[in-house]
Amino acid sequence: MKALPALGPTRKLKLPKESERRLPNGLTVIAIRRPAVPLVEVRLRVPFARTHLSRAALLSQTLFSGTADLSTVEIAAELQKVGGGLSAGVDPDRLMISGNGLVSGLERILELLGEVLSGAAYPVDEVATERDRLADRIQVAQSQPSHLARVALLKRIYGKHPYAVQTPEVSQVQAVRPAQLRALHGERLHPAGATLVLVGDLTPEKALDTAERVLGTWNGGGKQVDLPHTPPIEPGPLTLVDRPGSVQSSLRVALPAVDRTHPDHAALQLANLLFGGYFSSRWVENIREDKGYTYGPHSVIEHNEAGSAFVAAAEVATEVTGPALLETYYELGRLASLPPKEEELEQARQYALGTLQLGMSTQAGLATLASTYAGFGLRLNYLPEYAARLAATTLDEVAAAGAEYLAPAKTAVVVLGDAERVEASLRALTAVETA
């Protein structure tokens, strides 16, 4: 037998050069240097909690649809000239404008961004076009099992909280008018509380100067809107959503979790890895590599500004829906009841530490990381702190996190599938209510 080569010495996590400035209008700008390729990544995060669902969705699709001086096509062409592109999206926490381009075009990209932020016109024809496109996309999403399962899960775990519904209905989108978009833009698209992240082949201080020169005139003001903390996840009967003829069942399991600054965070992350958070986890090795029930099961701790949740997801063959749930309960129960093995923990720990390095190794990765952290009031210097906590987490702490957070008795479960074929096998394991 040949022996597995040992790992070389671990390199300490090294943060890239960065600078940060808060502009007088309230915009925070963070510039990070990674000169590997002559590009810049741009992320502008604007708080957008408690905005009208369909208006916010359509606003994100029409933000670049023209200003007083430039048409949709002209904005896109001007961006392209410097190798650039920008697009917007919303979730219940924020509006995110993201893009990239040749770093030589940074100033021009920010100028065009500034023109849109200050002067998006929401022209009637363009809004009508994008409204129909958005309605079509939502209709397509509603035929996707993964989307339908997500909709049912959010409703199940968030109840009356704004997180419970995140996709508007087609009819709601069709009702949105341009004046409502202009009003929403005026009320909420402000620099106060927003964060611009720039990552690339740049000198951080100079990039901050450029951002200040170009975006310093973006108008201030705007109200601060906070979300209430998410409600506790209520355990209870499994929610079965019928999708007649479905050849697979979409299994979703939610459990309570804690945010990145909570003392249990590192231990829970490791417990999640042991359960289903990476390929070499108990759940994946069981229901995929041993039993062949599914292709890509995975679990993740989802962090949102108003609360965190553990979500496990698997698409399993219809005929093994009950058995797949049984194994899921079993693996959760094992983590909640018995301590893991030392070598199993070390493997998960190395994965957690190594993937931190990988996540920082590209401009796009750094930009998304920095922007996401900024939404939680954190900076990249959180990374070495988090790495230290991962390194120091003990077996007892991971076992305690398993018991506290991953107990099957605390789960909220949603199954989307062919109810006629799967209901009986689910009822053998737990109480079921049909949605």
- Can you tell me the distance from the alpha carbon of 22 to that of 208, in angstroms, rounded to the nearest whole number? 10
Number of chain residues interacting with other proteins (CB under 8 A): 83
Q: Report in angstroms how near the CB of residue 246 gets to other proteins at its nearest.
A: 6
* CB nearer to other proteins: pick between 28 and 280: 280
> Token digits for 409?
């008795």
User: CB-based contacts of 283: which residues, under 8 Å, 6+ apart?
Assistant: 275, 276, 297, 299, 312, 314, 327, 328, 331
Q: Report in angstroms how near the CB of residue 8 gets to other proteins at its nearest.
A: 4
* CB nearer to other proteins: pick between 93 and 126: 126
- Binding range to other proteins, per CB under 8 A, among 135-143, 176-184, 216-224, 327-335: 135-143
Q: Report in angstroms how near the CB of residue 2 gets to other proteins at its nearest.
A: 5
Beta strands (DSSP E) in 221-268 are 238-242, 248-256
Of 106, 113, 99, nearest to 64 (Cα)?
113
Paired residues of 67 in beta bridges: 120
Q: Report in angstroms how near the CB of residue 388 gets to other proteins at its nearest.
A: 16
Q: Report in angstroms how near the CB of residue 19 gets to other proteins at its nearest.
A: 19
* CB nearer to other proteins: pick between 107 and 209: 107
Q: Report in angstroms how near the CB of residue 194 gets to other proteins at its nearest.
A: 24
Cβ pair 61, 133 in contact under 8 A: yes
Alpha helices in 82-160 (DSSP H): 106-119, 124-141, 145-158
Query: Segment 336-375, which members bind other proteins (CB under 8 A)?
Result: 346-347, 350-351, 353-355, 357-358, 360-364
* CB nearer to other proteins: pick between 31 and 49: 31
Q: Report in angstroms how near the CB of residue 202 gets to other proteins at its nearest.
A: 14
Q: Look at strands 238-242 and 298-304 and give their pairing.
A: unpaired
3-state secondary structure (DSSP) of residue 14: coil
> Token digits for 62?
């029409």
> Token digits for 133?
């496109």
Residue selected from 202, 251, 316, 413 as contacting other proteins according to rule CB under 8 A: 316
* CB nearer to other proteins: pick between 12 and 160: 12
Query: Segment 2-41, which members bind other proteins (CB under 8 A)?
Result: 2, 4-11, 14, 34-39
Q: Look at strands 307-317 and 248-256 and give their pairing.
A: antiparallel
- Can you tell me the distance from the alpha carbon of 388 to that of 322, in angstroms, rounded to the nearest whole number? 40
* CB nearer to other proteins: pick between 73 and 435: 73
Residue selected from 167, 248, 304, 328 as contacting other proteins according to rule CB under 8 A: 248
* CB nearer to other proteins: pick between 306 and 398: 398
Of 389, 290, 365, nearest to 34 (Cα)?
365
Q: Report in angstroms how near the CB of residue 198 gets to other proteins at its nearest.
A: 15
Query: Segment 59-78, which members bind other proteins (CB under 8 A)?
Result: 64, 72-77
Total residues found in the chain within this entry: 435
Q: Quick one: CA torsion of 207, 213, 218, 224, rounded to 10 degrees? A: 50
Q: Report in angstroms how near the CB of residue 99 gets to other proteins at its nearest.
A: 10
* CB nearer to other proteins: pick between 23 and 127: 127
Q: Please provide residue 291's backbone torsions phi and psi, each rounded to the nearest 5 degrees.
A: -100, -15
Query: Segment 381-420, which members bind other proteins (CB under 8 A)?
Result: none
Query: Segment 251-310, which members bind other proteins (CB under 8 A)?
Result: 278-280, 285, 288-296
- Can you tell me the distance from the alpha carbon of 18 to that of 360, in angstroms, rounded to the nearest whole number? 13
Cβ pair 242, 434 in contact under 8 A: yes
Cβ pair 423, 240 in contact under 8 A: yes
Query: Segment 176-235, which members bind other proteins (CB under 8 A)?
Result: none
Q: Report in angstroms how near the CB of residue 91 gets to other proteins at its nearest.
A: 21
* CB nearer to other proteins: pick between 158 and 351: 351
Question: What x-and-dash track marks residues 85-124 binding other proteins by CB under 8 A?
Answer: x--------------xxx----------------------
- Can you tell me the distance from the alpha carbon of 250 to that of 419, in angstroms, rounded to the nearest whole number? 12
* CB nearer to other proteins: pick between 170 and 183: 170
